[in-house]
Chains A and B, each alone.
Chain A
Amino acid sequence: SQQGEEDPQALSIQEGENATMNCSYKTSINNLQWYRQNSGRGLVHLILIRSNEREKHSGRLRVTLDTSKKSSSLLITASRAADTASYFCATDVGNFNKFYFGSGTKLNVKP
């Protein structure tokens, strides 16, 4: 499988703390995306990082990409209870906007 793999599978933190989750993948990519899924809902796009980028920011989100290690990390700073969700990385390995999703990290932010 070309899926990315997120680590850890589950993460529980207190509100205000930072949350870091990692994604590793197997083959060269064009870009990598992170998505959030609230329980019982569809996925929502968070951020995209291209293979020639090393770091990207969006609000409280910081994404890094290390193509030599085939890994990416998503950092959520100053977490809130509303950040409780599952987070998935998705890798684009070819044409046609075809992506492979990992199995996700389940984040629980305790108020």
Chain B
Amino acid sequence: NAGVTQTPKFRVLKTGQSMTLLCAQDMNHEYMYWYRQDPGMGLRLIHYSVGEGTTAKGEVPDGYNVSRLKKQNFLLGLESAAPSQTSVYFCASAGGNSYEQYFGPGTRLTVT
């Protein structure tokens, strides 16, 4: 089992560019999440999904869009990147009767 994987690991964007971050899990989990982590701020929930074809907003959804077309994948899109979106992005999944979230290794994004 690979668990939760994220692609890419690092990315540098210019302001206004777009990109998609991919999260994949092989644990057949229903729930998937996207967080961002900024220094001293902990993790903040961007968007989450409770199942294939569903998405919902978290604490800081502005500037991001998501899609969950397949149960195992959760995509996070930035349509027009801004320097304020420079952060480390973590994907997580959870499922069954367990509340435990399994995290990916993170994507470090810099927007210049």
Q: Tell which of B41, B43, B44 touches A43, judged by Cβ atoms closer than 8 Å.
A: B43
Q: A73 interface residue, CB < 8 Å from B?
A: no
Contact status B42-A99, CB under 8 Å = no
Task: Check if B102 is an interface residue, CB within 8 A of chain A.
Answer: yes
Known contacts A96-B50, A97-B31; is-contact A42 B105 (Cβ 8 Å): yes
**Interface of A, helix, strand, loop or mixed by DSSP:** strand
Interface size on B, residues (CB 8 A): 26
Chain A residue, CB-CB nearest to B104: A42
Q: Mark A90-110, 1 if CB is under 8 A from B, else 0.
A: 101000111111111000000
Chain B nearest CB from A107 CB (Å) reads: 15
Taken residue by residue from 53 to 97, chain A's Cβ proximity to chain B (1 for < 8 Å, 0 otherwise) reads as 000000000000000000000000000000000001010100011
Interface size for A (C-beta < 8 A) is 24
Docked CA distance A48–B8 (Å) = 31
Tell me the minimal C-beta distance from A42 to chain B in angstroms: 3
Among A33, A92, A99, the most chain B Cβ lie within 10 Å of the Cβ of A99
| Given contacts A1-B59, A96-B48, A96-B56, A45 and B102 within 8 Å (CB-CB) | yes
| Bound CA–CA A90/B90 (angstroms) | 15
- In this complex, the member of A42, A43, A48, A96 whose beta carbon has the largest number of chain B beta carbons within 10 angstroms is A42
Contact yes or no, A103 B42, CB < 8 A: yes
Q: Is the CB of A102 within 8 A of B101?
A: no
State whether A44 and B103 are in contact (beta carbons under 8 Å apart), knowing that A96-B56, A97-B94, A98-B48 are contacts in the complex: yes
- Given A96-B31, A96-B56, A98-B58, A43:B101 Cβ within 8 A: yes
- Inter-chain pairs besides A43-B43, A102-B42, A103-B41, 15 sampled, C-beta below 8 Å: A31-B99, A33-B100, A40-B106, A41-B105, A41-B106, A42-B90, A42-B105, A43-B92, A43-B103, A88-B43, A90-B101, A96-B56, A97-B94, A98-B58, A100-B45
